[in-house]
Amino acid sequence: MLLARYQKDLIEAGCDEAGRGCLAGPVFAAAVILPHNFKHKLLNDSKLIAEEARYDLRAEIEEKAIAHAVAWCDNVEIDEINILNASFLAMHRAIDKLLCIPQYLIIDGNRFTQYRDTPHACIVKGDSKYFSIAAASILAKTYRDDYMKQIALEHPEYEWHSNKGYPTISHRKIVLNLGHTPYHRKTFRVTAPELVDL
């Protein structure tokens, strides 16, 4: 069972990102402040939840959260400042958009750039330990998936409706054959995939 809080005294927001390892599209981040006594038996790391269930959870999170926000850095920004810094910047942008100001941040992962003077804790696999980080992972993942499905209509040949920009074997083959689109991250090296037919 996930935990509701990392600390008990301050207003706490959980933060997570989605799309860090992708070849195309933005990195999305979310920040979520949940009620103090929030519990949910199905909420967990978005990677462990089926797509339909993620969208059901998104609606419930948005209804029950004290505050929530989603933001992103696009592929051009990623190429300019690198994916790690872009992930942190996307989180900062999400925190900026919260209607309730958090007094403490819990971040999925082991690194983070300080947000103003707000104290924070980095938690490895935090999206499977704390509800607010898991909720942030659900929002970041579903909103990014929506974005990738939208731009897939412009470039259906890259199969973003299914691979969401991740470096699957077929996506790497397509990039090597057709080249980059305006949505691809130019600084991400595309290696020749294993010899598997499309």
Q: What is the pLDDT of residues 123-145, one digit of tens each?
A: 999 999 999 999 999 999 999 99
* Tokens, residue 182: 């305006």
pLDDT over threshold 70, residue 170: yes
Burial class from Cβ neighbours inside 10 Å (0-12, 13-18, 19+) for residue 189 reads exposed
Is the CB of residue 61 less than 8 Å from the CB of residue 139?
yes
Token couple for 84: 């790690």
In terms of DSSP bridges, do strands 27-33 and 12-18 run parallel, antiparallel, or are they unpaired? Answer: antiparallel
Rg (CA), the chain: 17
Strand residues in the chain grouped as ranges (E): 12-18, 27-33, 67-73, 104-108, 120-123
Strand ordering across the sheet containing 12-18: 67-73, 27-33, 12-18, 104-108, 120-123
pLDDT of residue 179: 94
* pLDDT of the residue at 192: 77
> If you average pLDDT over residues 151-177, what whole number do you get?
96
Rounded-to-integer distance, Cα 99 and Cα 117, Å: 18
Q: What percent of the chain has pLDDT over 90?
A: 88
